[in-house]
Structure 1
Amino acid sequence: MVRRLLPLEAGVASAIRRHGEETFPHECCGALIGTGAGSTGGSKDRSVGSSTAEGARGLAGRVIAAVPLPNTTEEGPRRRFLVRPSDYRLAEQRASELGGELLGFYHSHPDHAATPSQFDLDHAWPTFAYVIVSVMAGTARAMTVWFLKDDRSSFDEGDLNGDEDPDSHPAPAVHG
């Protein structure tokens, strides 16, 4: 099976990690804005690429910005996150302003691994990428990307930036 690739532009990984550390011990959440994944918002096939190498790796677009969103869950932000419809619309608006599209969402797992929970599985959409950053004792650690299978049974793990370290380029997040 081909693992899908989600490249992060300079500073995006650092911005996500920083957001997770700032909200610890609660989960942070935000939108992944990018380009190159096909049509906006609900493209069924997000594995497109312009080169043979990209197509072989299953390029899922390129993230150009991480947009922090408020975690509005009433179940307890320490273990859950919720993006309200109004914040979803804000993310789409921000994507349009940046000349991109909404590619997915990110969130943190405080004091847990960067793997999807059952809650994550139950609330995911097959058309988006999901980046999870593990924040242990207030320090961001592993960061992973996941794609929901079409049958919604589980996630497939993808790759962030291929062979490049996603933290190698510091830059700030884009705030809405």
Structure 2
Amino acid sequence: MIKLTPQHLQIICSHAEATYPQECCGIIFGHLADDGKTVIEIMPTQNAWSAEAAADFPGDEIIHEKQRRYAIAPQVMLQAQKEARTRSIDIIGIYHSHPDYPAIPSEFDRLCAWQEYSYIIVSVENGKAGEINSWCLDDHHQFQPETIEKLL
């Protein structure tokens, strides 16, 4: 389970709408506990997907399209990790959008995912944010739905 406020969801949805028709992405900071993850902060990032990033995925026919791929720049991720340590919080996940596509993970999303992280995906249809789902990898590296609990 991942717990977050309506304000956190609004940040994600606004970012997704602002970057449409490209995918947006960002980092989710929070705390890990036995009863799930609690979001503290959403950090929108730039989609750093590029031909250089795509070179790591030969044979992918849509590798150059930010409409179907996202990447967080390594230096941004490193800075986020340092910030999390300084603030005694964790990076608990990543969010991204699926322009004109359902809020379900793609095979590419699965291949790039890390254990322990939550992956929030927002579907954006014709520029308007819609369905939002969260996913986690199981022990077989397959995505399983994760409950989103909205905090007041």
Same fold judged by TM-score > 0.5?
yes
Name the amino acid aligned to 1:138. Answer: G
The equivalent of 1:133 in structure 2 is: 122
CA gap 1:126/1:155 in 2 versus in 1, 3 angstroms: same
Q: 1:90 aligns with which of 79, 90, 95?
A: 79
Equivalent-residue separation in structure 2 for 1:28 and 1:159 (angstroms): 22
TM-score, structure 2 length as denominator?
A: 0.85
Q: Flag the structure with more relative contact order, 1 or 2, with Cα contacts below 8 A and sequence separation at least 6.
A: 1
Equivalent-residue separation in structure 2 for 1:12 and 1:68 (angstroms): 11
The equivalent of 1:72 in structure 2 is: 48
Q: 1:112 aligns with which of 92, 97, 101?
A: 101
Structure 2 unaligned residues grouped into runs of 5+: 51-63
Deviation of 1:83 (Å)? 1.5
Aligned length: 139
The equivalent of 1:41 in structure 2 is: none
Equivalent-residue separation in structure 2 for 1:94 and 1:140 (angstroms): 29
Structure ranking higher in strand proportion? 2
Name the amino acid aligned to 1:70. Answer: Q
Deviation of 1:95 (Å)? 2.6
Deviation of 1:93 (Å)? 2.8
Equivalent-residue separation in structure 2 for 1:105 and 1:135 (angstroms): 17
For structure 1, which segment, 137-146 or 82-91, has the greater mean C-alpha deviation from structure 2 after superposition? Answer: 82-91
Q: Residues 27-176 of structure 1: matches in 2 within 5 Å?
A: 27-35=23-31, 37=32, 48-49=34-35, 59=36, 61-74=37-50, 75-152=64-141, 154-161=142-149, 164=150
CA contact (8 A) 1:9 1:65 kept: no
The equivalent of 1:45 in structure 2 is: none
Deviation of 1:12 (Å)? 0.4
Deviation of 1:149 (Å)? 1.3
Give secondary structure in 2 for the equivalent of 1:107.
Answer: strand
Structure ranking higher in helix proportion? 2
Equivalent-residue separation in structure 2 for 1:23 and 1:112 (angstroms): 15
Give secondary structure in 1 for the equivalent of 2:4.
Answer: coil
Give secondary structure in 2 for the equivalent of 1:7.
Answer: strand
Equivalent-residue separation in structure 1 for 2:76 and 2:140 (angstroms): 27
Name the amino acid aligned to 2:82. Answer: Q
Deviation of 1:87 (Å)? 1.4
The equivalent of 1:22 in structure 2 is: 18
Superposition misfits of 4+ residues, deviation over 4 angstroms: none
